[in-house]
Amino acid sequence: MNNIEKLMKLPCNTPYHVPLRVKVAVSATTKIAVADSTGYITVICYDSAKMSMLELNNSVMLRNYIKKADNTIVINRPTVVSLTSAVTVSDVTKAEAKRHIYALPEAVKIIDAVKVEGTTVIIMGKATKEEEKTTKQTKTKEMVLPKRITVKDSTAEVEVTLWKDQANATLPVGSWQLVTDLRLNVYHGVKSFNSTFKTQIL
């Protein structure tokens, strides 16, 4: 049985018949990444009949796949894709796979992110708390219902306020989140982040 870490070290541009058990970590139109306990890898699927098997969070067994020189897996007509028992993938690996697929810069540790002023940052961490929504008035006198969550990584934790459309996002407490394009806010010496119109929650 192959795993992703082992596969990365094997020769390129050759079919592999040894099974690879993975979970679909990202599945967005043509953007696909699969992962296991050892890492993640991008997938290119040239057989539309197999796309239904590559739905988000499906655990699949791959056979007769090709590993390319750019460390992607090619699935084509000879490739066998079958559902399999659940593959365990850490939230961190899933978030890193999303960051890679969407070509985002590396996430900044929270302890460093709170020092960044004048530009937006990406953070990655676990949602540890969500406050009850309360109506707020914006500078333009618009009444909105923002969502406040606390995000924690290995270095620190910080409050993040999600405005407008982002406030409707589902971020269960305990889930690992990648949040992009956040802008630092300092109020009475307390640092937090606000979402911007570009913010994505992945």
Report the chain's mean pLDDT, rounded to a whole number.
92
Q: Which of 30, 63, 97 is the last residue of a domain?
A: 97
pLDDT in tens, 107-151: 999 999 999 988 999 999 999 999 877 777 767 767 788 999 999
Segment 157-182 mean pLDDT: 91
Q: Are residues 110 and 181 in the same domain?
A: yes
Stated pTM of the model: 0.76
Q: Note down the domain range covering 53.
A: 4-97
Segment 63-90 mean pLDDT: 95
What pLDDT score does 135 carry? Answer: 79
Which residues, including other chains, have CB under 8 Å from residue 53's CB and lie 6 or more apart?
60, 81, 82, 83
Confidence of residue 159 (pLDDT cuts 50, 70, 90): very high
Segment 76-104 mean pLDDT: 93
What pLDDT score does 62 carry? Answer: 97
Give the side-chain half-sphere CA count within 13 A for 102: 21
Judged against a pLDDT cut of 90, whether residue 63 lies above it is answered with yes
Confidence of residue 192 (pLDDT cuts 50, 70, 90): very high
Output the CA–CA distances (angstroms, integers) from residue 128 to 16, 38, 39, 179, in the order listed. 42, 25, 25, 14
Partnered with residue 67 across adjacent β-strands are: 14, 73
Judged against a pLDDT cut of 80, whether residue 174 lies above it is answered with yes
Q: Which of 77, 97, 117 is the last residue of a domain?
A: 97
Fill in the amino acid letter for 137. Q
Q: Which of 69, 97, 125 is the last residue of a domain?
A: 97
b/e string for 143-179 if b means 16 or more Cβ within 10 A?
Answer: eeebbbbbbebeebebbbbbbeebeeeebeeeebbbb
Q: Are residues 66 and 41 in the same domain?
A: yes
**Residue 190 C-alpha from the chain's centroid:** 28
What pLDDT score does 14 carry? Answer: 87
Establish if 154 belongs to a structural domain: yes
Judged against a pLDDT cut of 80, whether residue 60 lies above it is answered with yes
Establish if 202 belongs to a structural domain: no
Share of the chain above pLDDT 90, in %: 74
What pLDDT score does 37 carry? Answer: 97
Establish if 42 belongs to a structural domain: yes
Q: Where do we find the tokens 């197999």?
A: 50
Q: Are residues 122 and 177 in the same domain?
A: yes
Establish if 184 belongs to a structural domain: yes
How many angstroms separate the CA atoms of 35 and 87, rounded? Answer: 9
Judged against a pLDDT cut of 90, whether residue 87 lies above it is answered with yes
Q: Are residues 61 and 136 in the same domain?
A: no
Helix (H) or strand (E) holding 127: strand 121-130
Q: Are residues 43 and 78 in the same domain?
A: yes
Number of domains in the chain: 2
What pLDDT score does 143 carry? Answer: 74
